[in-house]
A and B are shown apart, each in its own frame.
Chain A
Amino acid sequence: MSGGAQALLSVRDLRVGFATEGGTVRAVDGVSFELAPGEVLAIVGESGSGKSVTAQTILGLTGSSNARIEGSVRLGETELLGAGEATLRGVRGDRVAMIFQDPMTSFNPVYRVGAQIVEAIRAHRGEVSKQEARQRAIELLDSVGIPDAGRRVDSYPHELSGGQRQRAMIAMALTLEPEVLIADEPTTALDVTVQAQILRLLGRLNRERGLATILITHDFGVVAEVADRVLVMHEGRIVERGSLDDVFYSPTDPYTRGLLDAIVRLDQAPPLRAARESENLLEVRDLVKHYPVRGGLLRRDSHSVRAVDGVGFDLRHGETLGLVGESGSGKSTLCRALLGLIEPTSGSVRFEGREIAGLSRRRMRPLRREMQMVFQDPYASLNPRRRAGQIVAEPLRLQGEARGGELRGRALELLGRVGLGPEHYDRFPHELSGGQRQRVGIARALALRPKLIVADEPVSALDVSIRAQILDLLAELQEDFGLTYLFVAHDIGVVRHVSDRIAVMHEGRIVEIGPADEVCERPRDAYTEELLAAVPVPDPRLARERHNVESE
């Protein structure tokens, strides 16, 4: 914002420190910005950059008693930093509203959605009757595009879909017609098609109501879709600020440039990979997994959820097959069935020509070493009470491959292969960074020299800059060990980047499978098209072009 309009919200030299045993940690270190009426300001940064703390400090929600906050946050004429509880309460929800990342956990699960909206209204407008407030809640739910709002108002949060929940959250934020909306990663927990809808909704609200918005995100794609102005945060400071185009096309700060370069883009084809002519490692035919839903007096299976509903594909030695699908598409169930972790209802899975579907646990066991898994959340999938070296060594120990000094040597070697040093051997998972943790997870999967690695969303929990490193590591290991990957992800951009072929899953079936470029450039299935169209492009000009095409 270059002078002109009066700033709605002005943050001056904001500093937030947290007192810890090891001294003060500076989460926010001298941040200043202004928000003009009607603009969308994006604050971009990786985890730990201080972007969320900045957002929460504006409303005094930093919560922790050991936080030291300095600077100034002015909303119009009102100073919010150090303001009393009553002043803050008057501002929260009424003048500045906030929405959060995960709409599932951000609603109280035990109250109806409507009741939670009514509560927000009556907290500020005591004179509004419950009936009127409820009516208002229905109107709002309707205006954010929730079908059948009159009935949905009485739903509990878990009865809504992920997208509807976030819409309801936005409706709740809008109840009192605030001047400013702070959206903290509002689409990060959502599927990409739902994300596109929510971003459109936010854009519409911004245009129609002139709602000034602060959008906190790590995703440059999302930024390019909706922002007017961009701040890039790194280690508590603003390292880059400017208009959307300035930041994308002529960034001045090296950190920003690095971030932009690290983005894996769907619309940029990776270098073509040599076609792999080899034998099939895995052959899947008509695989079905139904989960019965219990019902009826005698607990008969009244109907079932068709998680995987007739899936067939081949996986060749040394290739990477990308498996894309949104939540609930059945991709995780498929992976578990392939690995023999659950028994399929019917169908066949052949590994190196040998039928493995329905094998007993005991007979499956020797095969387990041939197929390993890398998980999404490297923190949750590593035992917090074991050291990195022990975690990597465990499969070797369990299979009786090595012990004592040899075991340690093998573990160190594995850590080395994934780019970790001997100094990491004795660290606990919480002492490692996110990327390092995922490296430990990969080393563990490698320990038994498997032929097949099923990677279930291996980079979706990681920051953009780390993501590229892990993808490179996976590619390098594939070359060195002749690994075959089944790469599962919801982000088709990432999948295209690493895969020879792509399979698109929807409602338990593979709707399209083919060479990566073909699926991405010339999709044959309507759902694939929808999926591709929903991916935000981290390129403001392209995004604008797309919006223009859409609105015509």
Chain B
Amino acid sequence: MGRFVVRRLAGMVAVLFAVSVLTFLIFNVIPSSDPAQRMAGKNATPRLVANITEEWGFDESLPQQYLTMMEKIFSGEVISYEGREDVDERILEGVGPTFSLCIGAAVLWMFFGILFGYLSATRAGGLLDRVLTIVAVAGISMPVFLIGEVLLVYLTYKTGILPSGGYVELAESPLEWGEHLVLPWVTLAIVYVGIYSRVLRSNMLDAMNEDYVRTARAKGLSERRVMSRHVMRNSLVPIVTLFGLDFGALLGGAIVVEAIFSLNGIGEYAYISLINTDLPPIMAITLFGAFFVVLFNALVDIAYAYLDPRVKLGESAR
């Protein structure tokens, strides 16, 4: 276990380094991206531009600029070009809404994804299976922004049942927190429910043909026990992989959903920063997101070792 952690930490450093270098380079090679020019405004004097350039160090070599920025990001001193706000602080503010959104949606999609997948697989070919298939395919096919907007129109603007957006701290009012998040949760979860239920269904159908399932029946186990203990357990491994990747990626910001419901989370911040070509927050958010992706990949590996005793941590599965 210790060796595993050391190796993963080293891997994480390498990934974060590569991701940050790439992001930095991309923003320095795209055209019309002289930040000093933009910060100085439309009718700036060359002198002002030169001042800003010097003050922010835009005339230094790229590696030097990169190092300076990384140092500032990790010491919490990084300031955005646009609005000159404290980036790290702004990201921390976004953690509340983004994590609330992702965790709630994840609970929803895991519950319904697994439930629908299980029902579909155990009744494969039946009416319920067919209905769930249609629902899943519809959920996967509909774009997130469409689902979000449709829900907003019917549940907010026309009926006023739910608030139209924004975020209320959980500590402030748990009820309002939930009210504001119901629509974002559902919107985000729908796609994943569709995908997860389909993946689980096909994994379970494969597992049902395994010899050990026949053994389980031959022992005289009830059909429900055969399904839940022998078929399900082994079919969950790919679901765990998917979940680790999806959830890790979302913690770095669920851009579209956050934007639709003005949640003011990390994703929305990323969206605004991208529009403004505002490098410091983009760098910081990229690192933040990459950190969670790598973290959840490691957690997935640990979960594998737990779910399948043939897998040993730190070794590839054979």
Contact = CB atoms under 8 A, between A and B. Distances in A.
Interface of A: 59, 61, 63, 85, 89-94, 97-98, 100, 102, 105-110, 119-120, 123-124, 156, 158, 169, 172, 294, 297
B210 interface: yes
Contact of B214 (A100, A119, A156): A100
Q: Which of B211, B223, B310 has the most CB of A within 10 A?
A: B211
A92 B215 contact: no
Contacts of B216: 108
A59 B234 contact: no
B222 interface: yes
Interface in B215-229: 215-223, 225, 229
24 contacts: A59-B218, A61-B214, A61-B217, A85-B223, A89-B222, A93-B218, A93-B219, A100-B211, A100-B215, A105-B210, A105-B211, A105-B212, A106-B215, A108-B215, A108-B216, A108-B233, A109-B309, A109-B310, A119-B219, A119-B229, A123-B219, A123-B220, A156-B310, A297-B6
A172 B216 CA distance: 11
Contact of B220 (A120, A156, A158, A297): A120
Nearest to A176: B220
A477 to B, nearest CB: 36
Contacts of B212: 105-109
Nearest to A109: B310
B204 to A, nearest CB: 14
Interface in B286-318: 307-310, 315
A124 B6 CA distance: 48
B218 A61 contact: yes
A107 B215 contact: yes
B126 to A, nearest CB: 11
Given A107-B212, A297-B3, A92 B225 contact: no
A494 to B, nearest CB: 27
Contacts of A85: 223
Interface of B: 3, 6, 210-212, 214-223, 225, 229-230, 233-234, 307-310, 315
B309 A156 contact: yes
A123 B218 contact: no
A98 B309 contact: no
The binding surface of chain A is classed by DSSP as: mixed
A454 to B, nearest CB: 25
Contacts of A172: 219
A134 B225 CA distance: 19
A119 B225 CA distance: 10
Given A61-B218, A108-B230, 20 more contacts: A89-B221, A92-B218, A93-B218, A93-B220, A94-B220, A97-B218, A105-B212, A106-B211, A108-B234, A109-B212, A110-B234, A110-B309, A119-B229, A120-B220, A123-B219, A123-B221, A124-B220, A169-B215, A294-B315, A297-B3
B3 A102 contact: no
Nearest to B231: A108
Contacts of B229: 119
A154 to B, nearest CB: 11
Contacts of A107: 212, 215
Contact of A158 (B211, B223, B310): B310
Q: Which of A61, A85, A100, A106 has the most CB of B within 10 A?
A: A106
B310 A120 contact: no
Contacts of A98: 215, 218
- 4 smallest CB-CB distances across A and B, nearest first, come from A93-B220, A92-B220, A105-B211, A108-B212
Contacts of A158: 309-310
A110 B308 contact: yes
Contacts of B225: 123
A124 B220 CA distance: 8
Contacts of A109: 212, 234, 308-310
A224 to B, nearest CB: 27
A74 to B, nearest CB: 19
Nearest to B207: A108
Q: Which of B6, B229, B315 has the most CB of A within 10 A?
A: B229
A72 to B, nearest CB: 21
A85 B220 CA distance: 10
Nearest to A63: B214
A217 B214 CA distance: 19
A110 B307 contact: yes
A94 B219 CA distance: 8
Contacts of A63: 214
Contacts of B219: 92-93, 119-120, 123, 172
Nearest to B236: A110
Contacts of A97: 218
B309 A90 contact: no
A63 B212 CA distance: 14
Contacts of A102: 211
A63 B208 CA distance: 10
Nearest to A182: B218
B316 to A, nearest CB: 10
Nearest to A85: B223
A90 B222 CA distance: 10
A85 B216 CA distance: 14
A119 B233 CA distance: 15
A91 B218 CA distance: 9
Contacts of B218: 59, 61, 92-93, 97-98
A110 B216 CA distance: 13
A85 B315 CA distance: 43
A91 B220 contact: yes
Contacts of B309: 109-110, 156, 158
Contacts of B3: 297
A297 B10 CA distance: 13
B299 to A, nearest CB: 19
Contacts of A297: 3, 6
B73 to A, nearest CB: 31
A119 B221 contact: yes
Contact of B233 (A59, A91, A100, A110): A110
Q: Which of A89, A156, A172, A294 has the most CB of B within 10 A?
A: A89
A297 B216 CA distance: 41
A89 B223 CA distance: 9
Contacts of B220: 89-94, 120, 123-124
B217 to A, nearest CB: 6
Nearest to A94: B220
Nearest to B307: A110
A110 B210 CA distance: 13
Contacts of B233: 108, 110
Nearest to B234: A110
Contacts of B211: 100, 102, 105-106
Contacts of A59: 218
A473 B222 CA distance: 50
Nearest to A60: B217
A102 B210 CA distance: 11
Contacts of B214: 61, 63, 100, 106
Q: Which of B214, B217, B218 has the most CB of A within 10 A?
A: B218
A194 B225 CA distance: 33
A92 B217 contact: yes
